Amino acid sequence: MAEIKKISDFLWEISKEEGAGMNVPVRIFANGNIIKTMQKDRTLNQARNAATLPTIVSNMLVMPDGHEGYGFPVGGVAAFPMDGGIVSPGAIGFDINCGIRLVKTNLSVKEIKPKMKELMDSLFKNVPSGVGSKINLGFTRSDLEKVAIEGARYVISKGYGVHDDIDSTEENGAMEGADPSKVSDLAKKRGVGQLGTLGAGNHFLEVQKVDRVLDDKLADVYGLEPDQVVVMLHSGSRGYGHQVCSDYLRVLSDYQKEHNIQLADPELSYAYFGSKEADDYLKAMKSAVNFAFANRQIMMHLIRKSFSEVFGKSPDALGMDLLYDVAHNIAKEEEHEVDGKRMKLLVHRKGATRAFGPGRKELSGAYREYGQPVIIPGSMGTASYVLAGRKESDVLSFGSSCHGSGRVMSRHQAIREIPASKTMGEMKSKGIEIRVRDRKLVSEEAEWAYKSVDDVVASVEGAGISKIVARMVPLGVAKG
């Protein structure tokens, strides 16, 4: 086991001398409880392996919600120079641009409680969920090509939302440089019927109330107040993005063999910028990113539709504005400070959220002045948080923060050890309305299968990379 050096109460380091071939140290944002938990699986070993990737700069980072994943740990962040660096699909993940969207309302808990059952029924009906879930909105393969390039902007032009939604979406809802010709026919076939669907696994739709405000000024900027009802949505690029990742892992496996590249872990395959393999993957990845932005945009429209049906008012009258949409499985060209110099980097985030602080040109409106909202869901039935990015994160974490609470049990272990009835009973005792298509998911996503989200957000705040703004708790949950 590698020696883990404590730098502060919320920052730990594994020296690059602790692993064969490590090019940079591993830095872990965590409190004392979380660092112990991380040592029980392969999280830190995977981080050490990732630190052997060529051209990696500064540090390999692990967020407090980190846990083992495919090759590269979930909760991992790594950056590579745009001049001569690499891209690694395993450091982005299968669910490209899995992310979170938070929708505000002007409703209070008192106003919504009498209609919660009706509202959850409507949401469960209007937003398809479950493994392989589909919806017929009339999109064609031709539409899919446009979605790949224009992302959320394209579906807004088709009536699924309003232009203001773009200003509150990371990348304004579409990454430039996407090329759907680099996406396989199988990925397109999987994706065409899934635009506007939630999926399964840890994806969810939650109606929540703002339980506590912890920073009055930032909450006022973000438009949040105690007892306010909000809606949180967690989903990604569905089968489209999964297939893109699968396709290019095979391509890059061949690339490793062709160039006689030896890897610490075969799941960490990569290609150098300028190679056909890297260029094609990045264009396909951006297509999947834009698919996911469009997917969440359509579902937000369906959520607004449900609220309108139940409350008999327009989304405008209900104050249903988008707070923000953040991605947490993505690679993006950004500029950050490394060893006192500004560098253009491709920042890989896998289970990590961009957390830009005040002054970043990528942010618009009030967010440029006060910092980007960082939306952190908890496990099913527990609290979620809104945080704000801090300027210090630019140097400490490539402008990154955590993305959730992070698993401590595998899905299979959770199914074996946590009866669905236990979770359902716990949620019922809290007065939470739940709708789920597969009871197995209730065990997989039970709160005991995850770290404490309170510990996780306290760790990123303590480390100085995000500021806690507000805490939310669920009123209703819908899952696949």
Q: Which two tokens stand for residue 332?
A: 């993006």
Amino acid at 93: G
Q: Indicate the helix (H) or strand (E) that contains 348.
A: strand 341-350
Structure tokens, 16: 């690059």
| DSSP 8-state class, residue 448 | G
Q: What secondary structure letter does DSSP report for 89?
A: G
Which residues have CB under 8 Å from 194's CB, separation 6+? 133, 134, 135, 238, 239, 240, 295
DSSP for 138-184 reads ---HHHHHHHHHHTHHHHHHTTSS-THHHHTBGGGG--TT--GGGS-
- Residue of 203, 242, 348, 403 with catalytic role: 403
Give the residue among 77, 108, 103, 105 at the shortest CA–CA distance from 92: 77
Neighbours of 431 (CB within 10 A): 11
Task: Supply 106's token pair.
Answer: 């002007």
Mention every residue, 6+ apart, whose C-beta is less than 8 A from residue 244: 96, 183, 184, 187, 237, 284, 285, 287, 288
Residue 403 catalytic?
Answer: yes
Provide the annotated active-site residues: 403
